[in-house]
Structure formats: C-alpha cells, structure tokens
Structure 1
Amino acid sequence: MISALVRPLTFALFTGRADPPPLATRRVRRPAPRWLVLLTTLDGVRLADLVLAIFLYGVASAELWARLYQKNLHPPATPTFQLAMLSVSLPLAMRDRWPMGAWRTALLTLPAHVFVDRMIDGFPEQGLTYTWPLMVSYLLVLYTVGSRNSESVSIAVWVVSVAFLAVVNLNAVPIAGAVLAVPLVLGYNVRARRKTSARLARESQLKVAAEGVQAALEERARIARELHDVVAHHMSVIAIQAEAVPLKAAGDARQLEEGLATIRSLSLDAIAQLRQVLGVLRDADGHKETTPQPGLERLGELVANARAAGLAVLFRQTSSVEEVPQAVGLSAYRIVQESLSNVMRHAPGATVSLEVRRERDDLVVRVANGPGPTPAESSSAGAGHGLVGMRERAALLGGTLTAEPVADGFEVVATLPLEPA
C-alpha cells in the first residue's frame, strides 16, 4: 500500500520520464533553414511554446518592474529576479520535449517567484501568490504532464502542486486545487482517447490482415474445387477411353484413330480449362486467360464425353442458357461434371438420368444413376472431395445440394438460386 503511494511520487519528483510526443498528430514539422545550425527540423508546437515563453517573460518582467516603480522599491539581486522570470518562461519552453523536467523546473523556480512577489508586498501573511503569466505557464505544463503520463503520476503531480500551494497560501488551496486539477484531467482524457484510437487502429490493421488471409484461403479453396472438377472429370473420361478404344477398335485402324482423336480432344479441353483456372495465379506481368468459363451451353459436351466413355445418359434441359447467370451456370456445369465423373468411377456403364430445369426462382439440377453392369474397381483416391466441393459450390450461391444413395443407385439434386441473396 505504501509503495503504491510512494512510487508515483518518486516517479514524478525524481526518476520519471514522460511518454514521447505522439507521432500520429497534426503537428507542423518543416526542415529548418541552413542558418539554424543546431536545428534540423522546425516543430510548430515547440516553436509556438518558445514564442509564448518569450512573450510571458516580457510581460512578467514589465509587470514586476511596474509594481517596483509604484512602490519606489529597488529590484532584488539580479540572480533572484532572473530566476523568478525564468519560472514563467523556462518550463513552458521545455514542456513538449521534457514534460517532467519542465514541471520539476517550475517547482524549483517557484520559490524565487514567490519571494520576489512577497518582497514587493512587504511579506504579508497571505498575499498575492501567483501572477497570471505564471499561472498560464504552469497550467500548460500540467496539461502536458497529464497527457503524457499515467493517471497515478498525474495525481502525484497534483498532490505536490497543492502541497506547495498550501505552504505558500493556505487560503487559496480549495479554489486553486480545483483549477490545477482541470488541465491534468483534460490531459488524461486526451491521453486515454489517443490510446483508444491507437488500439482501434491496430485492431483495424489486424482485421484487414485477417480478411486478406481469409480471402486468400477462400480463393485457394475455389481454385482447389475447380482443379478437382476439371482433373477428376477429364482424367476419368480419358482413362476409360484409353482402356476402351483398343478393345472397341479390335485392330481396325480407322476406329483406333477416331478413338485417339477423341482422347486428344479431351486432353486439349482439360488443358484449356486448367489454363483458365491457373490464370488467376499469374503475376501482374503475365497474361491472364479471358476465355469465358463453361456454363449450361456446354452440358452437351459433357453428355457426349460421358456417352463416349460408356454411360447411357438421358439428358433433359428445360431452362434456357440466357436465363441463368454466369456464376449459377458455372456451378451447375461443375456439379454435373463431377456427378458424371463419380458415375464413371463407381458405376461404369450405368444408365444416367440428367435433368436441368427451372422451378420459380431456382435452377434445379438432378443427376441419378442406376447400378453399373460391372462392379467398379475400389479406389480411395480423392474419396469424398467431389461431394464436398459440390456442396460448397451450392452453399456459396445460397443453395442446397443433396447426394445420397437411392434404390440400386445414387442421386444428386442441387437447387441453385438464380438471384443470390
């Protein structure tokens, strides 16, 4: 308890240093002229303090000389008189660079000012203690101390100032104590607001950084979905075609050539779509792909590829391409693409029913298949990623997707809003 009281007093009177001036302020700073050899920068606040300190020095000197002349008194010793005048000006000139040093200087030079003031009034028991130039200077110093120190230090400075005032003029303590508290409270409020603003700025920077990371993760997830859909579909079709073409050709060079041409066409299409997906990863000097992303207008190609791979696809589309936004068309295309790829892997040769229709404000995509004539080879490569990607595509548009086994087969139904919320 005692240390909690003594520590702020020790900090204020002897060891403490105030916080540096805040950098993010509207202070006017300009390069100093060359003839000012000792200065490199002119600070508007410090220059204003210096001008005000010189002005108050002159006003206080003139006022004391006038009072001495009125009472026909000789000035005190020159060091005492100059020290009394410095108590008005020196702390004010120091307050921005060294707030605590300025306050300590004011505290040490106040006795000289009080001595000169009392000498002029004949050393009354309770006389005029502080002149207005001294009050202006001291209050400005207290404001700087309050704005650059903690609450406990500001309270310690106020206690010492009031204690000194009580020694000089006890009757002035109630009013002067309240007056001395005003600049300290104002300075504390400014410091608290400044710290809050700095904390909010840091939180804003962290929020921007987090949003950037989140955007990068979302973009990576989008690219991963695109790559998975492109690679999974085309590679499945190419693998099936590469296995089926030699068996179907049975030594017929023409059929073998047609089969290889189909494989080549599928490979080129896969390469083109991969180039579209990877185009967003190029730097600012690269050439990004501007080819439109696939949509409902290319469902016929998917169906043809699936039929060439051995699936019996029954295709029915009742929604025109013009009615569907590009994002919805792309998601529908990828969902159909992934669904057909899954059928090729898990039920090769099966009969597939593909339907694309519009229901009010939604686009409904349904892909259902029966069992394949031959069981598929078990493979866990990429298991589950296709269904996750399809659900993510539907969720990004505010839609839904169900994928579940049905009687002797599997069914995927996606509902995609044509006007996303």
Structure 2
Amino acid sequence: MISALVQPFGLALFRGEAEPAPPRSRRMRRPLPELLPFGHLDLVQVADLLLAWVLFDTVRGNLTNLTAATPQYMWLVYLVATAFSLPVALRDRWPLAAWRLALALLPAALWMLHLLGGIRSFLAQGAVMCLLVLYSVAVRCGRRITLAVWAISLVAVWLVDRESLVQSAVALSVVMLFGYNVRVRRSATRSRDTAVEERSVLAERARIARELHDVVAHHLSVIAIQAEAVPLEAGGDPARLEAGLTQIRGLSLEAIKELRQVLGVLRDEEGRTDTTPPPGLDRMDELMANARTAGLAVAVKRSGELAGLPTAVEVSAYRILQECLSNAMRHAPGSAVAVELVRDAALRIRVANGPGSRPGGAPGAGHGLLGMRERATLLGGSLETSRMEGGGFEVRAILPLEGAS
C-alpha cells in the first residue's frame, strides 16, 4: 500500500518519462530553405525560446539593479535568471526534466531573492514559468505522474509564498486540469484515427483479396483447361500444339499483367505504381473469347448503352462476369452459358450456365460468391444466386449507377 503511494513520487522526481510530443500541424511547422541544417521551423519552440529570453533578461535586469552595491552576488543573478527561464525553453522537448530543473534550482533562487529582499517582486515571472511547465507535464505525462507533480508543486508553493497559497493552488490546479483534459482529448482523437486507419487497411486488404481471387481463379482455370485440352486437340500435329501453347502463354502474360495492376497499390522502392486502368466492360469480348477457348458455349445479350458507365460499376461488372465464367469452367466444364447485361437505372447482370458436358471440380470454399456479393453491396446493389433445374447455376446482380464513381 505504502509502495503504491510512494511510487508516483519516485517516477515524478527521478525515473518517469514524458511521452513524445504529438506531431505539429502545418501551421506550426514552417519549411526552411534546404541550405539550412534543419528543414522546418517549429513555431511553438520558437515562442518558448523568445519567452525564456524575455524572462531571463527581465529577472537579470531587475536583480542587477538590486545588487549594484554588492557585485559579489552577480553569479547568483545569472543563476536565478536561469532558474526562471531555462525550464520554459525545455518544456516542449522535455517537460518532466524542465519541471525537475525548476524544482532543483528553486532553493538557490529563493535564497538569493531572500538575501535581496525581493521575493515578492518576482512572483509574476515565477508564476509564468511554473504554470507553463506544469501545463506541459499534464499534457505529456500519465495520470500518476501528473498527480505527484501537482502535490509536490503545491508544497513548493506553500514554501515560497504562504500568503497567496489559496490563489496559487487554484491557478496551479486549473492549469493542470486543463492540460490533463487536453491529453485525454488527444488520446481519444488518436484512438479514433487509429481505428479509422485500421478499418481502411482492412477494407483495402479485402479489396486486394477479392481482386487476387478473381484474377487468379479465372486465369488459372482457363490455363488449366487449355493445358489439358491442347494436347488432345492437337492430335500429334506440331503446328496445332504450338498454337495452343502460344495461346496458353498469352493467357499467362495477361494474368501476370492483371496481378501487377492489382498489386500496384504496393509501391516499389522508388514509389512508382502501375497506372494501367482497371479492366472494364470494354474488355468483355476478350473475356468471353477466353471462356469459349476453354470450352464454354457463351452467348451474350446486351440491352441499353453500356459505354460511359462509372468506373466502379464497370470494374465490379467485369469481375462478376469473370468469376461466373471461372465457376462455370471449374464446376460445369463444356456447359452452355447465357450472359445478359441490361442498363436502365442500374446495370443488371444475369449469368446462367447449364450442366457441364463432363464432371467438374469439387465445390470450393465459397470465397468467389462472397467476393461478388461484397462488390455489389459496396455499390449499394445486390447479388443473388440460385441453382437451376437440370443442374445449372444462375447469378443475378444489380449494380446501381447513381452515386458510383
């Protein structure tokens, strides 16, 4: 129990440390020419240095007048002036060290002022220094250290000037409470910003995961089917075999290109990114051709003007079509696929495939369907899936155009 009560005082006086200063706003940090050794001018630190110089010069000047007849005290004049000014200069970088320094120099300053009979004439300078330092401590130190500093400072005030103890204690308490309130608000703001940043990171991670799944699943499905079908179709004909392998190579290069585009958000060491536009419905014919090459009988029906759609809608529509065709390749190889796109107030997509002409792969984990549904939901739309009679599968998506970019 006693140890718990004494520990905060030990932290305040000896072992405790203040937290780093929060980043300055742009208004408080002004850029300087590159020729100078430091790149920015911190206006808060400049103000502290100017105020420290004013306090030093004021105290030194007044004490010099008092000690004109006793020059042997001049070294104490500078010591007292330093005690009133140096903590202010240090309070932004090392607030707790500044408070400790003021506390350590207090006895010498009080002794000097007592010898000259001028203690009360310097209370204003002392109050400015103490309140600024105590505010910095409350803003940058934990609650236990702040309470210990407050208690020790009250004792120091009682030793310096008992007549104005009540007023000084009120001023000291108000300043430290205000500083602690600022600390709590900053902490809440940092927590909120951290939570927002974490949500943004998770959203970006989910976006990259969806894109990677769609790209890899589609292209690898086509490549796998082509690699299986090309030797059978070539029938030992070197020319047909070479043509089939050339097509597989083209699909592989296309997959690599799309992967680079998806991962373009991850910068290289020089900070460059891939600025290739994301795939849209202008590449739909290429997508259908790849599916037909893989053995699907794809029929496409369009209704309405599909050019000029918002980018987000085009990308989501392309990825949904890509995932539907990939699923048909894996689970219903050789099937007939009907693709229908209708534009009115929204873009309506319907993809239905019949049963495959040969057995397909085992059901997956369902990430593809989940990704398609997430894409539609992010645009304020919807996506529904259902099994058709006779063994087929149908996907219906509605992607609103209003509000998408």
Common topology (TM > 0.5): yes
Does 2:163 align with 1:159? no
Match of 1:394 in 2: 376
Given candidates 392, 402, 405, the residue that maps to 1:409 is 392
Match of 1:96 in 2: 85
Instruction: Label 1:94 to 1:369 Cα distance change in 2 as closer, same or farther (>3 A).
Output: same
Match of 1:52 in 2: 58
* CA–CA separation in structure 2 for the residues paired with 1:95 and 1:372: 88
* CA–CA separation in structure 2 for the residues paired with 1:302 and 1:2: 76
* CA–CA separation in structure 1 for the residues paired with 2:306 and 2:286: 15
Does 2:316 align with 1:365? no
The amino acid of 1:55's aligned partner reads G
Percent of residue pairs bearing the same amino acid type: 43
Alpha-carbon shift at residue 341 of structure 1 (Å): 0.6
The amino acid of 1:100's aligned partner reads L
Instruction: Label 1:284 to 1:326 Cα distance change in 2 as closer, same or farther (>3 A).
Output: farther
Match of 1:309 in 2: 294
The amino acid of 2:60's aligned partner reads I
SS of alignment partner, residue 136 of structure 1: helix
1:236-251 superposed matches below 5 A: 236-251=221-236
Instruction: Label 1:294 to 1:101 Cα distance change in 2 as closer, same or farther (>3 A).
Output: closer
Residues 306 and 343 of structure 2 are in contact (CA less than 8 Å); yes or no, is this contact kept in structure 1? no
Given candidates 205, 211, 219, the residue that maps to 1:234 is 219
Q: Considering only aligned residues, what root-mean-square deviation do their CA atoms show, in Å? A: 4.4
1:273-288 superposed matches below 5 A: 273-283=258-268, 285=270, 288=273
SS of alignment partner, residue 375 of structure 1: coil
Instruction: Label 1:392 to 1:95 Cα distance change in 2 as closer, same or farther (>3 A).
Output: same
* CA–CA separation in structure 1 for the residues paired with 2:380 and 2:386: 20
Alpha-carbon shift at residue 324 of structure 1 (Å): 0.7
* CA–CA separation in structure 1 for the residues paired with 2:59 and 2:374: 69
* CA–CA separation in structure 2 for the residues paired with 1:418 and 1:337: 20
The amino acid of 2:85's aligned partner reads D
Residues 53 and 85 of structure 2 are in contact (CA less than 8 Å); yes or no, is this contact kept in structure 1? no
Instruction: Label 1:161 to 1:245 Cα distance change in 2 as closer, same or farther (>3 A).
Output: closer
Match of 1:295 in 2: 280
Match of 2:39 in 1: none
* CA–CA separation in structure 2 for the residues paired with 1:397 and 1:27: 48
* CA–CA separation in structure 2 for the residues paired with 1:47 and 1:285: 45
* CA–CA separation in structure 1 for the residues paired with 2:348 and 2:123: 78
The amino acid of 1:26's aligned partner reads V
SS of alignment partner, residue 282 of structure 2: helix
Scaled by the length of structure 1, what TM-score is found?
Answer: 0.66
Alpha-carbon shift at residue 19 of structure 1 (Å): 9.3
SS of alignment partner, residue 322 of structure 1: coil
SS of alignment partner, residue 307 of structure 2: helix
SS of alignment partner, residue 266 of structure 1: helix
The amino acid of 1:153's aligned partner reads I
Does 2:327 align with 1:342? yes
Instruction: Label 1:214 to 1:297 Cα distance change in 2 as closer, same or farther (>3 A).
Output: same
1:29-77 Cα offsets, whole Å, 9 max, x none, are: 9xxxxxxxxxxxx954443233212332355579xx9xxxxxxxxxxxx
Aligned positions, number: 352
Residues 56 and 84 of structure 2 are in contact (CA less than 8 Å); yes or no, is this contact kept in structure 1? no
Scaled by the length of structure 2, what TM-score is found?
Answer: 0.69
Instruction: Label 1:142 to 1:420 Cα distance change in 2 as closer, same or farther (>3 A).
Output: same
Alpha-carbon shift at residue 296 of structure 1 (Å): 1.0
SS of alignment partner, residue 129 of structure 2: helix
Answer with 1 or 2: which has the greater Rg. Answer: 1
- Unaligned 5+ segments in structure 2 are 22-41, 87-100, 135-148
* CA–CA separation in structure 2 for the residues paired with 1:333 and 1:107: 80
Residues 19 and 148 of structure 1 are in contact (CA less than 8 Å); yes or no, is this contact kept in structure 2? no
* CA–CA separation in structure 2 for the residues paired with 1:275 and 1:5: 60
1:6-40 Cα offsets, whole Å, 9 max, x none, are: 999x99xxx899999x97873449xxxxxxxxxxx
- Unaligned 5+ segments in structure 1 are 30-41, 66-77, 115-132, 164-172
1:183-262 superposed matches below 5 A: 185-194=170-179, 196-197=181-182, 214-251=199-236, 256=241, 258-262=243-247
Instruction: Label 1:7 to 1:243 Cα distance change in 2 as closer, same or farther (>3 A).
Output: closer
